[in-house]
Amino acid sequence: MAQAAAQADKSPVVSITGLHKSFGELEVLKGISFSAREGEVVSLIGSSGSGKSTLLRCINMLEVPDRGTVMIDGEEIALRGAGSRRHIADEGQIRRIRSELGMVFQSFNLWAHMTILENVMEAPLIVQRRQRAEVEQQALETLDKVGIRDKAGSYPNQLSGGQQQRAAIARALCINPRVMLFDEPTSALDPELQVEVLRVIKVLADEGRTMILVTHDMDFARSISDRVIFLHQGLIEEEGAPEEVFGATKSARLKQFLNASHHP
Ligand code: ADP
Ligand code: MG
């Protein structure tokens, strides 16, 4: 109980309030609020086009929301202007905050002309200006952790998709992020390669990392999440612990979505 109270007192690592986002006439996010506490794994699920990626991209301001706020570790990201003209107010702040967010996309986005080790070391050296020897040691340890240390000297096109995605995870980890953001990290992979990536993400969850994960894999969301959020037409339609959301589903739309996902 004492521990739960202490946990509740902490300010969340990520806190989103009243997020709205439109692309032209299309209103994608219609008022989204949620937070992720230290060590929490939050999964975002919902049908294609429901705004999951847009929501995740608003957390690091790859998309600037029209309304609403994003706070990282209690610090609000400063925005200026209104509606579609809203923009980042402080480039220095966003650079600093982005360097605390480890983002892993569906496509791996590794630099083709750099080795895997160079890819992983790039941001710690250039953005964070850390010492090369220390960064290299952490990079090799992290590659070891994701099971591809033997690929350190290889180029991305010499790796399988699953290995490339594990390299992308290692790269995100090496900035020592406050939170890891995953957008459908396995959806570009063949099923047998998905397993190795999911296993790595599970290890990170078990270590107590704070993570927000968009996934189409309901079994994985169920096994890994502390909390699951179902997005539907720009709003949170249902939210709760996995056993509630999957085991005692309330929303008819979520029931329909879950039935459809089991029979692709
Ligand atoms: P999801 O990740 O849940 O599939 P997205 O967030 O990618 O959904 O997209 C939600 C809706 O917003 C979709 O209709 C998509 O076409 C649209 N959309 C996303 N990004 C843009 C953009 N940059 N410009 C215009 N429309 C966009
Ligand atoms: Mg998406």
The label of the residue with tokens 């980042």 reads 88
Closest by CA position to 180, among listed 62, 76, 41, 71: 41
For residue 235, is pLDDT > 50?
Answer: yes
Rounded Cα–Cα distance for residues 211 and 85 (Å): 30
For residue 39, is pLDDT > 80?
Answer: yes
pLDDT at site 176: 95
pLDDT at site 107: 87
Positive or negative CA dihedral for 220, 199, 187, 70?
positive
Phi/psi of residue 89, each to 5°?
-90, -25
pLDDT tens by residue, 119-139: 999 999 998 999 999 999 999
Q: Span 153-176, mean pLDDT?
A: 96
Q: Span 152-168, mean pLDDT?
A: 97
Task: Tell me the ligand closest to 188's alpha carbon.
Answer: 2
For residue 8, is pLDDT > 70?
Answer: no
Q: Span 59-66, mean pLDDT?
A: 95
% pLDDT > 70, the chain? 95
pLDDT at site 11: 76
Question: Ligand 1 pocket: which of 28, 43, 58 to mutate (most atoms <8 Å of CB)?
Answer: 28
pLDDT tens by residue, 17-32: 999 999 999 999 999 9
pLDDT tens by residue, 204-225: 999 999 999 999 999 999 999 9
For residue 67, is pLDDT > 70?
Answer: yes
For residue 5, is pLDDT > 60?
Answer: no
| Residue 156 beta carbon below 6 angstroms from any ligand 1 atom | no
Q: How is residue 113 written in tokens?
A: 């002309």
For residue 84, is pLDDT > 90?
Answer: no
CA of 18 to the centre of ligand 2 (A): 20
pLDDT at site 6: 52
| Residue 215 beta carbon below 6 angstroms from any ligand 1 atom | no
Alpha helix locations (H) across 146-241? 161-173, 191-206, 218-224
Confidence label for 1 from pLDDT (cuts 50, 70 and 90): very low
- In this structure, are strands 227-232 and 41-45 parallel, antiparallel, or unpaired? parallel
Q: Span 58-70, mean pLDDT?
A: 96
Mean pLDDT of the chain: 93
Ligand 1 atom 7: the closest Cα is on which residue?
53
